[in-house]
Structure 1
């Protein structure tokens, strides 16, 4: 019983995010003209996974008590790269995908190196690198355009076995291959420890530099997967500053909605994923209820505010920050 209580307490933010998403998605499909069909689920999944990947990227950095304001620009940069590299033969497409993912990994690694060895604040560092990444994206795609391998794009944005969204399957695969191994590794535990208390982690002999570097690097990799999927959905690349800034802010909102503490050390990428899916469902709800799109920021703000208030109840009850981890 004690173990179950610990698990529930440790994952209360994730459970809250799941509950919010389930309620909102149930309302959505209950009022959708087509009901709960594979097409409706696939469309919702395709829109949600874009923000989910960027939210996962932001989560890794936030767990170290940092924040990455460049994830949206990495997302945009890799979208522009993919629109010029991911096409042609199967071999050329594979090389292009590897190059795009490598670029995202490199961007995240650069952020990590500057924060760790340059000893600059993450928010300052990532504002600067985000501007650089956007400048490179603009140089690559001064006007929207490009192309992508249609076979790969259709395969990853369509349905598996005729009913299951391929984009959602990819998201699950990324969680299994990237998040879970990282969470259970020494580096993952180091990232959590750094976020909980940098000084205590250092005194305990935790590899704090390696943990931080891994978090930033993997964050860039996850953002680049989102950029790839944006290319698969749109069949083009666009150096849009508005897209980059929007996804950066929405990713932070999804992280908070998913129960990840902005103080670091608490939360899960799973919660951030459901936070992102719930955040995306707000727009879908406006569609089925035929409300003006201009109301969307208001509803997003209300949902986010409610989630922050609920998530803060536990912090209000504790007298010492360490009690939060009991």
Structure 2
């Protein structure tokens, strides 16, 4: 445990902050720490956590994805059409939604890698494209998700919120094995130094394509889970999730300069943001002041991440002289 904390101090600190905030939230909630309270909190947190994971895969290779919210909106709208009907229909519908998400991420990756355009520029452009398609599908909120499936994914199992089970499954079944593979190691290598990774014989192009594709896949999962929570489609959900996903990865200890941080930390950052929002709701803070405080927290988190990037850049410039 000591070695784990020493190897991942940023992640450990984020988890500690989250534990404190959750304890305060459950202790001060008017209804107390009931299954209903924890389930609502977990559902909202998981949506942002999935968006933060999508952002993580872009940031870890020294990029940034401004299309995360747009992909969520598109996949949410697609889900409102296809995740209905028989069990087989819904299974194919879910696969289609995830395929759309991964396809959006792959498009971003192709433009970044082969177009040699900065990720922030590419994803800003594709975000408009994805939102445009989402608006064509759902000019106004509507559609329907199978209610039984939505309940199964958003309620609880033996008193444990399903969202928490899904979060644990993502860490145990996806992140833990991935970070021990060549791809997982390659993500950190490319983020730390793309040139050094290339000279070491790593397939940098494939790694960057895989990172953006995984980002699109998890943005699609975020849009799908948003569909389970709301049981409808809405093309206007994107902007807040894009900004929050960036703040979440920074709060979780993921460095915007790339190569530093973990997926677990990104998840913890997302849960921290949602817990802070929930605490403000029950704190008696005037409703009109809450957006200002949330914006201040987001701006501070992103400023911290940007300062880290500038500090490293300036240090490299000094060494270069």
TM-score by length of 1: 0.90
Count of aligned pairs: 315
Give the equivalent residue in structure 1 for 2:179: 183
Selected match of 1:99 from 92, 96, 100: 96
Contact 2:247 2:302 in 1 (8 A): no
1:311 and 1:35, CA in 2 relative to 1: closer, same or farther beyond 3 A?
farther
Match for 1:23 among 20, 23, 26? 20
Aligned partner of 1:249 in structure 2 is 243
Which structure 2 residues correspond to residues 1-326 of structure 1 after superposition, within 5 A? Answer: 4-5=2-3, 7-161=4-158, 163-240=159-236, 243-300=237-294, 303=297, 305=300
The 1-side partners of 2:22 and 2:72 are apart by 26
Matches of 2:116 and 2:301 in 1, distance apart?
35
What is the CA distance between 1:294 and its match in structure 2?
3.1
Q: Distance in 2 between matches of 1:71 and 1:129?
A: 10
Check the 8 A contact 1:257/1:308 in 2, yes or no: no
Summarize the Cα distance change of 1:177–1:303 in structure 2 as closer, same or farther, 3 Å threshold: same
State the superposition RMSD in angstroms. 2.4
Cα displacement (A) at 1:302: 5.3
Gap runs ≥5 in structure 2: 317-321
Deviation of 1:169 after TM superposition, in Å, equals 1.1
Give runs of ≥4 in structure 1 deviating > 6 Å: 310-313
Report deviation, 1:259.
Answer: 0.4
Matches of 1:59 and 1:136, distance apart in 2: 25
Asked whether the equivalents of residues 52 and 272 of structure 1 are also in contact (C-alpha less than 8 Å), the reply is yes
CA distance in 2, matches of 1:84, 1:67: 30
Tell me the distance in 2 between the aligned counterparts of 1:152 and 1:17. Answer: 32
Partners in 2 of 1:16 and 1:273 — Cα distance?
13
CA drift of 1:296 comes to 2.9
TM-aligned CA deviation for residue 310 of structure 1: 10
Check the 8 A contact 1:68/1:122 in 2, yes or no. yes
- The CA distance in 1 between the partners of 2:215 and 2:155, in whole Å, is 26
